[in-house]
Amino acid sequence: MDRIVEFLRLRKTKNLFRILQPANFRKEGKVYFNGKKYIDFSANDYLGLSTHSRLLSATQDALKTFGLGACASRLLSGDSRLHHQLEEKTAIFKGKERGLIFNSGYQANLGIISALCRSGDAIFSDRLNHASIVDGILLSRARLFRFQHNDVTHLELLLKKERNKFKQALIVTETIFSMDGDKCLLKAIVELKERYNCQLLVDEAHATGIFGRSGSGIVEEQGLTERVDLIMGTFSKALGSFGAYVVGEKTIIDYLINSSRSFIYSTALPPAIISANLTSLELVRDEPARRKTLLENAAFFRRELKKRRFSIKGRAQIVPLVLGETKKVISLSRKLRDRGYWVFPIRPPTVPQGQARLRFSLSYDHKREILKKLVSDICSLIHESTLR
């Protein structure tokens, strides 16, 4: 108990204590708290699909037909034709042989990595990879080598030095990074994985639905589908729903069905959610203007910030505004909140010391006038605080 009390005390003194804040509801890029409206730059509903009428009616129809719970895991009686349809559709969408649905992206990474790797294997992982990847690696008991963020020279250095000491090796990276909104150097990574005989798993959580001709992600955009072994992603971000997928060769998918513990030992997703996910994929196909507008607006937002002399990275719908000091960032996020923007400070240890930032997650519903006003609000708030 002492340890717990001490932990909480430390969190509070360091300004890192977290609390839950229940929202009333959300719609069209806005979120309501205590009856007050905020423009939401913290959500991942990038295409604004979570309240799309087609998604909602597909879910309601499936609820009437199938009831709510799946009532068992997939390997018992929780499996349904809808699950198989979604797996087929996802595999086609991503251009791979087979697909498998996981209950969330977190469970997917945990279950995939811990099934693929074991003690005596090596895993090469980008330093900024998501916590679910890190936890999957820990659970696998493989030896972890972290390469500097998006640094293929460092990755190659590690591969050269370490690869031949291990029988099997896996390289893992996100394709769009959640904290910096930057893209991984996929082509270079693919070449390294081939040269050093590794498997490659990529996480398209923030890319699915947005990049590539058919919106399937960065792997498609870069034309590297054939050369990436496993691609995972979630239905919970741009696709506005819930659950996750992995696609790859039939043999690997069969292996995961038989060995991935987070897949085997968890109740299947409700058929209504699966039905929503099927509809999400259709919406990505039928409404490509959403992703086009989103990326154009993100480019506009970055341009406007650069005009005001902010240095802005990346080309994605995630726009980090790096301000440096944690205090500065917390203060700005509070002031923006007072002006009706819901945006969170990202601070160490999530990002390196001296790189505290506000992270803006853009949505299709954030029109240019909103973004323009936001930039001018940011500037006037920063100006105000330096005058004081």
Ligand X SMILES: *Cc1c(COP(=O)(O)O)cnc(C)c1O
Catalytic residues: 44, 130, 174, 178, 203, 206, 237
Nearer to ligand X, 244 or 252 (CB): 244
Tell me the number of residues near ligand X by CB under 6 A.
14
Nearer to ligand X, 169 or 246 (CB): 246
Nearer to ligand X, 48 or 111 (CB): 111
Q: Closest approach of Cβ 254 to ligand X, in Å?
A: 23
Q: Closest approach of Cβ 154 to ligand X, in Å?
A: 20
Could you give the count of Cα atoms lying within 13 Å of 53 in the half-sphere of its Cβ? 0
Q: Are 173 and 126 in contact (CB under 8 A)?
A: yes
The Cα–Cα gap between 31 and 286 comes to: 26
Stretch of 71-79, 103-111, 280-288, 351-359 contacting ligand X, by CB under 6 A: 103-111
Q: Which of residues 182-241 bind ligand X (CB under 6 A)?
A: 203, 205-206, 234, 236
Q: Closest approach of Cβ 120 to ligand X, in Å?
A: 26
Binding of ligand X at residue 142 (CB under 6 A)? Answer: no
Strands (E), the chain: 25-27, 30-33, 36-40, 98-102, 122-126, 143-147, 169-174, 199-203, 230-234, 244-248, 318-324, 341-342, 344-346, 356-361
The Cα–Cα gap between 239 and 28 comes to: 14
The Cα–Cα gap between 323 and 291 comes to: 28
Q: Which of 171, 139, 179 is nearest to 155 (CA)?
A: 171
The Cα–Cα gap between 280 and 89 comes to: 11
Binding of ligand X at residue 132 (CB under 6 A)? Answer: yes
Please enumerate in sequence order all residues whose Cβ is within 8 A of that of 193, keeping only pairs 6 or more positions apart, or say none: 171, 199, 200, 227
Burial of residue 235 (CB within 10 Å: 0-12, 13-18, 19+) is buried
Tell the residue number behind the tokens 């919106």, with chain if given: 215
Residue least distant from ligand X (Cβ): 105
Binding of ligand X at residue 59 (CB under 6 A)? Answer: no
Binding of ligand X at residue 130 (CB under 6 A)? Answer: yes
Nearer to ligand X, 206 or 359 (CB): 206
Please enumerate in sequence order all residues whose Cβ is within 8 A of that of 364, keeping only pairs 6 or more positions apart, or say none: 29, 46, 47, 48, 290, 291, 293, 294, 297
Stretch of 10-18, 102-110, 340-348, 364-372 contacting ligand X, by CB under 6 A: 102-110
Nearer to ligand X, 136 or 215 (CB): 136
Q: Closest approach of Cβ 236 to ligand X, in Å?
A: 4
Q: Which of residues 267-326 bind ligand X (CB under 6 A)?
A: none
Q: Closest approach of Cβ 327 to ligand X, in Å?
A: 27
Instruction: Let me know the angle formed at the C-alpha of 24 by 62 and 289, rounded to the nearest 5 degrees.
Output: 60
Tell the residue number behind the tokens 């090796």, with chain if given: 169
User: How far, in whole angstroms, is CA 113 from its chain's centroid?
Assistant: 17
Stretch of 104-112, 157-165, 343-351, 356-364 contacting ligand X, by CB under 6 A: 104-112
Q: Closest approach of Cβ 294 to ligand X, in Å?
A: 17
Helix 250-259 to helix 105-116 angle (10° resolution) is 100
Nearer to ligand X, 184 or 370 (CB): 184
| Candidate residues 156, 174, 180, 229; the one interacting with ligand X per rule CB under 6 A | 174
| Candidate residues 50, 90, 104, 326; the one interacting with ligand X per rule CB under 6 A | 104
Bridge partner list, 100: 246
Show the binding pattern over residues 339-368: x = contacts ligand X (CB under 6 A), - = does not. Answer: ------------------------------
Q: What's the sign of the alpha-carbon dihedral 359, 45, 292, 229?
A: positive
Nearer to ligand X, 50 or 236 (CB): 236
Nearer to ligand X, 130 or 193 (CB): 130
Binding of ligand X at residue 105 (CB under 6 A)? Answer: yes
Q: Closest approach of Cβ 316 to ligand X, in Å?
A: 12
- Binding positions for ligand X, rule: CB under 6 A: 104-106, 109, 130, 132, 174, 178, 203, 205-206, 234, 236, 244
